[in-house]
Each structure stands twice: as structure tokens, then as C-alpha cells.
Structure 1
Amino acid sequence: MAEDDGRIAIAPGLAIHRDEITESFVRAGGPGGQNVNKVSSAVELRFDLAASPSLPEAVKARAARIAGRRLTREGVIVIAAQRFRDQPRNREDALARLVAILREAAEPPVPRRPTRPTRASKQRRVEGKVLRGRTKALCARPMED
């Protein structure tokens, strides 16, 4: 996650601006000792995928599919991070998870090349069917003369 001039690098030639991300802080559940009821250490990161000017439409579509339930109807990716007991580490965690989603979306899918079965595999399949048919024929009732 190299940052320069307020931009977060996603892939070569692809970056988002830090202003496109909003963070809010809430109290986290779980361990925290005496601070648990006083300090807002959990982070809720929001990234408006639908309105982002930094990403091409193809990347947005793939990111929406990858985000799954973290994507709202309005097209905003919401990531909640409360894995750690302190706010800075939770902020880093949330940002790293967003970047991971966008990096995966930035890789174009490999096109499928249709293949055909080889002659030998077709022959093996037919031979297997013939053997199975013979086995079943042996189990059948004997024919009356």
C-alpha cells in the first residue's frame, strides 16, 4: 500500500484517492480491559465504489461481486474492523482489507479456452461403458429357451 500525494496504490497504473474513503469510530466489543467502555477503537470504513472516479467500470463490477455482503444497495463498500484493541491498527486492517478487494478486482479474469476430449479419452470412456454393460448382463436373469 504505497501512498504518495494522498493516493493509495492498488495496482500498476491504478490508485484511489484517500478522500474517497470515510472512516467512523465506534466502541468495539470483546477484550479491552478498563478501556473497553471508554475508547472507540473499532473502525467502520466506507468506500463509495459506485461513485469512485478512480476506478474503471470493469474493475467496479468485479469489486462489487467480490465485496458480496459488504456492498450496500447504494454501491458503498462497508468494512468493519475491530480485530485489534487499538484504533490505529484497526484502521490499517480495514484499509488493507479494502485494498485486497480492489487488487483482486483489478486483475482481469483469464478467458476460458474451450477444450475437446482426446480420442484416447473417448475410447477409454466407451470401453468402460462396454465393461459395465457386460457386468450388468451377467447379473440379468437367464433367458428361457
Structure 2
Amino acid sequence: MIPTKEDIVKVVLFKTSRSGGKGGQNVNKVSSKVELILNIHSAPFLNEDEKELLNERLAHRLDQEGNLHIVSQEDRSQLMNKERTIIKLIALLKSALHIQKNRKPTKIPKSVIRKRLADKQITAAKKENRRRPQFD
């Protein structure tokens, strides 16, 4: 189950720092870069199976303690960057927890096979009629 923004805000830790990029003097004064840190093992909105699946699928994004880090510094506003990190986290959880259905192979209908063979016979007959007659 995908958590809501309110559930996420209760559990995660936000770190702020100065961001690079556009903003003029504002960049030097305001800490607008936001880093969201979620410890997957202590998240109450995930059950044990989901935690196991996230550990497996997001192993390359976790640190040694099992924390997931998401950073946003696109906007000049710290509040907007906080919102973006939460949205990124929800999207990441959705994609990581999505289980793909198994494909059921289907048989080719007999009518389709018969039509293909009939078409092949028609083409073969056309090509046979184009040949020079052979005299024995």
C-alpha cells in the first residue's frame, strides 16, 4: 500500500543545505536544497514483505543503515523542494512495489493456421503457373 503525504512526513527526516544554481544572492543566504531520509526498516506504513522487496529493489540507493536518500534542489523555495522530495518518494515506492503480472501464453487459433496455409498454396500455385512448361 502506498502511504499518504501525512504518513510520510511523520516518519521521514528532512535535511536542508544551501543549493547551487540560479537565485542570485538568495542562493548564498537561504538553505533551499532539501534531502529526505527514510529508514525503510522503521517505516510503520510498510509491512514486512514490502520492506523486504524495497531492500532488494532499491539496494543501490540505500546506505549502510538502510536509509533511503532523496534530494531536490530544483526550486528556489525550501517548501517546494520538500514537496518535490515527497512526490519523488511516493513515485519511487510505487514503481518499486509494483508487481508485474505473469503473461499467459495464448495459442494460435486453428482458423488462422488454415488461412496461412491456404495463402501459401495460392502463392505457390501462382509461381508454378509462371514457370515454363516442361516436356517429358
Task: Please give the range of the TM-score, normalised by the shorter of the 2 chains.
Answer: 0.5 to 0.7
For residue 123 of structure 1, what is the aligned residue in structure 2?
none
Between 84-93 and 68-77, the greater mean CA deviation after superposition: 68-77
Q: Which amino acid aligns with 1:99?
A: I
Where do 1:38-77 residues align within 5 Å?
Answer: 38-77=29-68
Matches of 2:81 and 2:65, distance apart in 1:
25
Q: Deviations over 1:37-94 (max 9, x none)?
A: 1110000100111222221233223333454533212211100110111111111110
Of 69, 74, 81, which residue of structure 1 is paired with 2:72?
Answer: 81
- Higher share of residues assigned helix: 2
Where do 1:4-15 residues align within 5 Å?
Answer: 8-9=3-4
Matches of 1:46 and 1:106, distance apart in 2:
18
Do 2:39 and 2:66's aligned partners in 1 also have CA atoms closer than 8 Å?
yes
Gap change, CA 1:115 and 1:16, over 3 Å in 2 = farther
For residue 124 of structure 2, what is the aligned residue in structure 1?
none
For residue 102 of structure 1, what is the aligned residue in structure 2?
93
Q: Which runs of 5+ in 2 are unaligned?
A: 110-136
Indicate yes or no: 2:13 matched with 1:22: yes
Do 1:67 and 1:101's aligned partners in 2 also have CA atoms closer than 8 Å?
no
SS of the residue aligned with 1:37?
Answer: helix
Where do 1:130-145 residues align within 5 Å?
Answer: none
Matches of 2:56 and 2:75, distance apart in 1:
27
Q: Which amino acid aligns with 1:43?
A: V
Of 14, 33, 46, which residue of structure 1 is paired with 2:24?
Answer: 33
Q: Which amino acid aligns with 2:71?
A: A
Runs ≥4 residues deviating over 4 A: 112-118
Gap change, CA 1:71 and 1:88, over 3 Å in 2 = same
- Name the structure, 1 or 2, with higher relative contact order (CA <8 Å, separation 6+): 2
SS of the residue aligned with 1:77?
Answer: strand
Computing the radius of gyration from Cα coordinates, the structure with the larger value is 2
Count of equivalent residues: 126
Gap change, CA 1:115 and 1:74, over 3 Å in 2 = farther
Do 2:12 and 2:38's aligned partners in 1 also have CA atoms closer than 8 Å?
yes
Tell me the TM-score normalised to structure 2 length. 0.66
RMSD between aligned residues: 3.8
Matches of 2:54 and 2:20, distance apart in 1:
29
SS of the residue aligned with 1:43?
Answer: strand
